[in-house]
């Protein structure tokens, strides 16, 4: 065999079609594709196209995935040779190009990643045909703390959940933007908020699970759509509605959003911010009114100020934001109260002793402490800093 013949054989083998992928041409296109009554995925390719050759194994896998599905067929056509008329008809400007055809419907172009997983999920999404046992499903299943939702558990896990809020991503497995969101969603669930019970990081992979009713209910028409559900928040009209997230889908912006909505205080590594355990207006009063030797009288007055803040926090006063900060951590209120009572009882030295003790524990026993214990110690240290004017 001549060298040129060997090269041609190898090049042809790279784009060899499997038994599950139909070979098309200009003459049989109408009968096989448009008149078949089936959803037909067609790849327009060219022999000289390097990207087409690279994509060939994945495309053959797609053919294998749908081989037993009678309503779907996978095909290909050489748009530079026996498929030139079809390439012109459908305005094919580059190779490879994938279209999903169904009768006289306008063909839908696939623009996602060129892997079998994404392509097969795209076909399922558009055709609304669910494979009984999908060979390719990627739904963040490796991310153990991302809650997978569908029509069967959405009510229980989200709408009826009174323990906390839920940040839900409505995605589609064929969507490249959703693909880019995956690592961010993973870190939110498994690293940053993994020990915060008041927030649930969840997802609805709309093309892989029953979701039509949910999409209709919340008017989901693009992906990804991110909604924040707080079942305990009732709007003025008496209804509970999710809040859409319109910000950048960066890790930092999503962390900031969750912190604000769920009263949490995390950075992008899951560590507590310096604002955790702090009530800012009270800190200002402590700085102004506590001298180097705090008196019981000063402690009593500050305790009354704390009581006022707790009342103001839940009031409907319009301009309370002048005193109440969005970053105030009122979960620290019992610890502030404890420290003020120590001052009132004449044991102001407890504050410095406790500060040193907690820092020593974090330094010496860090490896033996649970993450929840570390959070608790750090939050208390932050509160103690207010009394130590740090």
Tens of pLDDT along the chain (390 residues) come to 444 443 333 333 333 345 689 999 999 999 999 999 999 999 999 999 999 998 998 899 899 889 889 999 999 999 999 999 999 999 898 899 999 999 988 888 887 778 888 898 888 878 888 775 444 444 444 446 999 999 999 999 999 888 899 999 999 999 999 999 999 999 999 999 998 889 999 999 999 999 999 999 999 999 999 999 998 877 676 677 899 999 999 999 999 999 999 999 999 999 999 999 999 999 999 999 988 788 999 999 999 999 999 999 888 776 777 899 888 999 999 999 999 999 999 999 999 999 998 998 888 877 777 777 888 889 999 999 999 987
Question: Same domain, yes or no, for 120 and 149?
Answer: no
For residue 58, CA distances in Å to 49, 63, 115, 343 come to: 15, 9, 5, 70
Question: Same domain, yes or no, for 123 and 148?
Answer: no
Question: Same domain, yes or no, for 41 and 86?
Answer: yes
Question: Same domain, yes or no, for 155 and 202?
Answer: yes
Question: Same domain, yes or no, for 148 and 247?
Answer: yes
CA 287 to chain centre: 41
CATH number for position 116: 3.40.30.10
DSSP conformation class of 223: S
CA 204 to chain centre: 10
Domain range for 248 is 144-262
Question: Same domain, yes or no, for 49 and 156?
Answer: no
Question: Same domain, yes or no, for 208 and 304?
Answer: no
* pTM exceeds cut of 0.75: no
Of 215, 230, 262, the position where a domain reaches its end is 262
When divided into structural domains, the chain yields a total of: 3
Question: Same domain, yes or no, for 287 and 253?
Answer: no
Residues with Cβ within 8 Å of 52's Cβ and at least 6 positions away in sequence, in order, are: 15, 43, 45, 46, 95, 96
Question: Same domain, yes or no, for 86 and 175?
Answer: no
Q: Is residue 12 part of a domain?
A: no
How many Å apart are CA 29 and CA 359, to the nearest integer?
A: 74
Question: Same domain, yes or no, for 250 and 339?
Answer: no
For residue 233, CA distances in Å to 159, 215, 229, 230, 386 come to: 11, 21, 9, 6, 31
């Amino acid at each position: 065999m001549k060298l040129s013949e060997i090269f041609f054989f190898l090049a042809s083998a790279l784009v060899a079609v499997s038994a599950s992928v139909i070979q098309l041409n200009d003459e049989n296109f109408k009968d096989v594709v448009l008149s078949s009554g089936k959803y037909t995925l067609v790849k327009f390719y060219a022999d000289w196209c390097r990207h087409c050759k690279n994509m060939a194994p994945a495309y053959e896998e797609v053919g294998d995935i749908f081989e037993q599905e009678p309503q779907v067929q996978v095909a290909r056509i050489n748009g530079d040779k026996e498929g030139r008329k079809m390439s012109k008809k459908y305005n094919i400007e580059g190779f490879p190009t994938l279209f999903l055809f169904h009768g006289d419907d306008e063909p839908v172009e696939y623009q996602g990643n060129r892997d079998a997983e994404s392509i097969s999920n795209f076909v399922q999404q558009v055709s609304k045909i669910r494979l009984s046992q999908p060979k390719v499903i990627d739904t963040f299943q490796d991310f153990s703390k991302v809650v997978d939702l569908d029509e069967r558990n959405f009510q229980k896990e989200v709408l009826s959940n009174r323990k906390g809020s839920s940040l839900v991503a409505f995605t589609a497995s064929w969507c490249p933007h959703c693909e880019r969101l995956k690592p961010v969603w993973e870190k939110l669930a498994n690293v940053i908020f993994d020990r915060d019970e008041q927030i649930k990081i969840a997802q609805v992979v709309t093309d892989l699970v029953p979701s039509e009713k949910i999409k209709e209910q919340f008017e989901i028409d693009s992906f990804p759509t991110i909604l924040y559900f707080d079942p305990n928040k009732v709007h003025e009209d008496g209804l509970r509605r999710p809040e859409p997230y319109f910000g950048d889908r960066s890790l930092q912006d999503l962390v900031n959003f969750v912190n604000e909505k769920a009263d949490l205080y995390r950075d992008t590594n899951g560590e507590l911010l310096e604002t955790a355990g702090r009530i800012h207006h009270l800190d200002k009063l402590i700085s102004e009114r506590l001298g180097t030797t705090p008196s019981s009288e000063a402690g009593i007055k500050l305790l009354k100020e704390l009581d006022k803040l707790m009342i103001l926090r839940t009031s409907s006063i319009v301009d309370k934001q002048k005193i109440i900060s969005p970053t105030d951590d009122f979960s620290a209120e019992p610890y502030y109260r404890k420290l003020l009572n120590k001052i009132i009882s004449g044991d102001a030295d407890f504050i410095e002793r406790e500060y040193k003790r907690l820092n020593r524990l974090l330094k010496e026993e860090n490896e033996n402490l649970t993450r929840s214990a570390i959070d608790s110690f750090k939050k208390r240290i932050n509160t103690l800093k207010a009394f130590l004017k740090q």
